[in-house]
Structure 1
Amino acid sequence: MPIRLTLPPTLRDRIAGSDRPQIGMWVCTGSPPVAEICAGAGLDWLLIDGEHSPIGLETTAALLQAVAPYPVTPLVRAPSDDAVVLKQLLDLGAQNLLVPMVDTAEQAAAVVRAVRYPPRGIRGVGSALSRGARWNRVAGYMADADRYVSLFVQVESATGVESAAAIAAVDGVDGVFVGPSDLAASLGLLGQQSHPDVTAAVRTTFDAVRAAGKPVGVNAFDPAVAQAYLDAGASFVLVGADVALLARGSEALADTWIGDGA
């Protein structure tokens, strides 16, 4: 008899079941050992980034396997809202998806359809072939697929901010993540994520999403900015990245031991 398996709680469930915000970091290197090191650090969640990194499908699968033994929740950011890519990510075992650049409720609804099986969606059926269902070792996976998958969408444009309430209200959207970097660019403030107009737009999105009864998250590497967003009601926040830690740490070594090179 095959082993009957269960899947871990989704990020949606982790957020709902916690009495504090969930703190996480980016995983961008594509290195399974680096991902495993980060997974064992004691953080709540990791963002495996398929949008701004060299991480493709095979690497995503390897990263998910590397972090699976640890009590950390991985959220996989897709490169786009393409329904085929979302299907592939779900099948390789991504239970939690973040879809970037969602500007309207209609786009959010299309993303929801992409991650749901018929008749409520268009997700292709391949559970017997996929790690997502542990090759059909998760009993009733297809019938309960919505319970095993959480979907977050990213608001990161002026249009998205205007539509945030409608986006958050879409059935099947489990939360909204605000991207200050692209939002700053959209507002004509490229590279100025902490500009007052950008932080005001982030807070406007927070208010709209929370009013819809959905959790809202954000990226903030500056500790003071991160704390301000937590104080404003963020339920999940990214406060660092593997590549940034490596860059700043190696720079600190060089500065300590070499200085200005003289």
Structure 2
Amino acid sequence: MTNTKDLIDSDGHPLGTWLSIGHPKVAEGVAQLDLDFVLVDMEHTTMTLETVETMARGVDAANNGTDTIVRVPWNDPVRLKRVVDIGVAGVMVPMIDSAEEARTLVESIRYPPEGIRGIAGSRATDYGRNFEEYVTNANGTILTIAQIETEAGLENAEEIANVDGIDALFVGPADLSSALGMFAEWDSEEFTQAIQPVIDTSETTGVPVGTLTVDIDAIDERLAQGFDFLIAGKDISLLMDSIDQAIDGYSAALDKQTPTSSFD
């Protein structure tokens, strides 16, 4: 088990942040903070498996108990087995629309007879030194998150959550708002009402539901909506926001300077 999966399983409220900058220094630095996990995004970045592996090493080097969770590009058994072979704590998979797709996800990261994951002496097994023990005990230990991002996913959220092995659901606000014809209206009453059934599945199924808020000022609002866990902020957005603050601070300081008169 990992720290984040333990929190998910025990109705905790883990907090993560989003990493789209593919550099181990960013991963290692962020992992030194008081975060339960970092989400490394492979879907909408140019990151390779080698990059993700070095980032996972960076997180481990921080030695702070922070987990690495990887958002893969698609619900593809080949991609999934290669990612979990790195030894990450969990995976998040986009566009899960049905219970059948959720079962495919679970089977992809579990060894037979529960799944179809191929067996290899990878980093996850300490390069074979922990081979038998890891293979024997791995099933059910990898945090498995299904993203709800379409109308079909919204309609089938409860069935998806009820698939054995799905640890959490995750509302993807950008794609889901677009699919519902409300792109970027995630603060609107209409969107709030539309996603409420997904949030309610947490009560009916016991499976936590999370989401992303790039705007860290919206954390209170998202928790008040009923989300069980959050990914707060994206690395590049937080970096740019901080630099914007520095620019504004510099401009304000310049404005306060009183020109020295050359006349007595």
Asked whether the two chains share a fold, i.e. TM above 0.5, the reply is yes
User: Per-residue displacement from partner, 1:182-213 (whole Å, max 9, x unpaired)?
Assistant: 11000111222222222222221010243111
Root-mean-square deviation (CA), in Å?
A: 2.1
Matches of 2:166 and 2:246, distance apart in 1: 43
Say whether residues 1:243 and 2:256 are aligned partners. no
Which of 127, 132, 136 aligns to 1:135? It is 127
Aligned to 2:247: 254
Which stretch of structure 1 is more off in the superposition, 132-141 or 24-33?
Answer: 132-141
SS at match of 2:118: coil
Give the CA deviation at 1:70.
2.1
Q: Of Structure 1 and Structure 2, which has the larger fraction of its residues in helix?
A: 2
Give the CA deviation at 1:251.
2.1
Identity %: 34
Aligned to 1:79: 73
SS at match of 1:142: helix
Aligned to 1:157: 150
Matches of 1:185 and 1:16, distance apart in 2: 31
Which of 156, 179, 187 aligns to 2:180? It is 187
Q: What is the TM-score of this pair, normalised by structure 2? A: 0.88
* 4+ long deviations beyond 6 Å: none
Give the CA deviation at 1:235.
2.2
SS at match of 1:75: strand
Aligned to 2:40: 48
- Equivalent residue runs for 1:25-40 within 5 Å: 25-40=17-32
Give the CA deviation at 1:224.
5.3
Q: How many residues align?
A: 251
* Structure 1 unpaired stretches of 5+: 1-7
Q: What is the TM-score of this pair, normalised by structure 1? A: 0.89
Matches of 1:219 and 1:107, distance apart in 2: 22
* Structure 2 unpaired stretches of 5+: 253-264
Say whether residues 1:201 and 2:194 are aligned partners. yes
SS at match of 1:12: helix
Q: Is the 8 A contact 1:210 1:216 kept in 2?
A: no
Q: Is the 8 A contact 2:4 2:14 kept in 1?
A: no
Matches of 1:198 and 1:140, distance apart in 2: 46
Say whether residues 1:70 and 2:64 are aligned partners. yes
Matches of 1:241 and 1:124, distance apart in 2: 33
